[in-house]
Amino acid sequence: MRVIVCFAAAVLMFASRAIAVEGPLRWEHGGLLGPVPATDTTTYPLRIDKPEVNYALEVRAVLKAGSGAVRLLAPDGAELYQRPWGTRLSEDLVQLPQMRAAGEYQLLIETENAVGEWRVRVVELPPVARLKSVYWSGPLLMVVGLAFLLGWHWQTDAPWRWFAVGAAVRAAAFLFTILGALAFHLTLRDSLEDSLPYVSFLAVESGVNGGVSAIAMILAILLAGIAFSTLRVSCANAVALGVGAGAGEALLSGVVTTLGTGIVFGTGPKSGKWLVRLAYDSALTPLLPLVEPSKFTCVIVCLMAASGLALLALASRRWSPALWAGLLLAGLYAGIGLTRVWSLDGAASKWWILCGALPFAAASLLALSWMSRTWRDSMAGGDAPMEEYLRLFDEEDAAMADVSDE
């Protein structure tokens, strides 16, 4: 447990340093449109001093009404980029053609009765050779998964079958999540998107998806606890299920990420769009390959705490721990989703994702410490693992009854 606490503290310090690093954002502008009907063209100067460098242009516009377009002109008047805007969301991320010369370029925003908001960014891209460092992301994800599996087995001697059950539980929860998300999309999504500002809609959608994911995971854990009563015998077994769930997901993600990275760098022009996205993320995110392993560290810690609390509730037949487990996972998933929504308007560094995960990972460490200490003391005193927990609740109930009688 001390190793996990120290590791989480190191991730927190490292993430705070990475978030503070300023990325190579060369130009950014945005604004609100409407609500007064108007046809307008606004010109913004864009100074390019290093034409030999590759640049990416990111465009995002959310219009409730009307239409518009963005155009980029070279100093000699040649059009380098053009993108029309329609209602709702318009997004694009492209690598600009090689600049012919240094000078003042012109960005034109053309609108016709448009109501909404827009933003344009110009980012200096790193050389392609530097992008291959992202190859480390997949292997590091697998290292994180294996470290939790081997570490928990070595510390507690929990049977390997409970780790396997945890991986199956995560797969079942994923299926439950798909069903819940599908129900949301078929019933409420369109009406919410029409009635709310786009960013607010994304925030609500993140909260709903977080809640659905948490309910699905807790339901799958409880079903596993009902099917395998031995899971409820000890803290080590209960938490092993969460380790298996999180580590299995990390291992699978590591394999997929490694294969995907190989495809992106191995298919030539067909992967150009992915390379631009990768270069854009690398430009704005220091040490990008460490982001996903750090995020999965937080996720696995939360799954460990949630599985322990949910199985504790099932064994003791007191459902408040399961409620706390659900709130913990809902906050984790919603927090990660909300930081991604926030990056649409401001910070684009992937390290901001950890701002939504770290508070819940810290709370999970406290829950794990409490469960480990309580269950271990019960075993040392000769009690069955649940007896001490139940006895404490019975004593509290008896004390409350005495107060009521008085």
Over 80: is that where the pLDDT of 89 sits?
no
Cα 61 from Cα 120, distance rounded (Å) = 9
Asked if 87 contacts 65 with a C-beta cutoff of 8 angstroms, the reply is yes
- Angle in degrees, 0-180, between the axes of helices 160-184 and 235-266, rounded to the nearest 10: 70
Residue 26's pLDDT band, with cuts at 50, 70 and 90, is low
Locate 373 and state its tokens: 């200490």
For the chain, domain boundaries: 2-15+128-379, 25-124
Per residue in 102-150, pLDDT (tens digit) is 888 888 888 888 888 888 888 877 777 777 788 888 899 999 999 999 9
Per residue in 158-216, pLDDT (tens digit) is 889 999 999 999 999 998 888 888 887 778 777 777 777 766 777 788 888 888 889 99
* Mean pLDDT along residues 34-42: 76
**Three-class DSSP category at 62:** strand
Asked if 288 contacts 282 with a C-beta cutoff of 8 angstroms, the reply is yes
Full DSSP string of 305-325: HHHHHHHHHHHHT--HHHHHH
- The structure tokens 């390290």 sit at 351
**Closest C-alpha to 371, from 213, 240, 223:** 240
Query: pTM score, two decimals?
Result: 0.77
Per residue in 7-18, pLDDT (tens digit) is 555 555 555 444
Residue 156's pLDDT band, with cuts at 50, 70 and 90, is confident
* CA angle, 23 then 27 then 33, to 5°: 125
Question: Which residue intervals of 157-234 are DSSP H helices?
Answer: 160-184, 190-195, 198-227
| Window from 215-229, 254-268, 288-302 with minimum mean pLDDT | 254-268
**Closest C-alpha to 215, from 168, 165, 175, 244:** 175
Instruction: Determine the straight-line distance between the first and last CA of the chain, rounded to whole angstroms.
Output: 43
Work out the burial of residue 74: count CB atoms within 10 Å of its CB; fewer than 13 is exposed, 13-18 middle, 19 or more buried: middle
Q: What CATH code is assigned to 25-124?
A: 2.60.120.260
Cα 127 from Cα 48, distance rounded (Å) = 18
Residue-level pLDDT at 390? 52
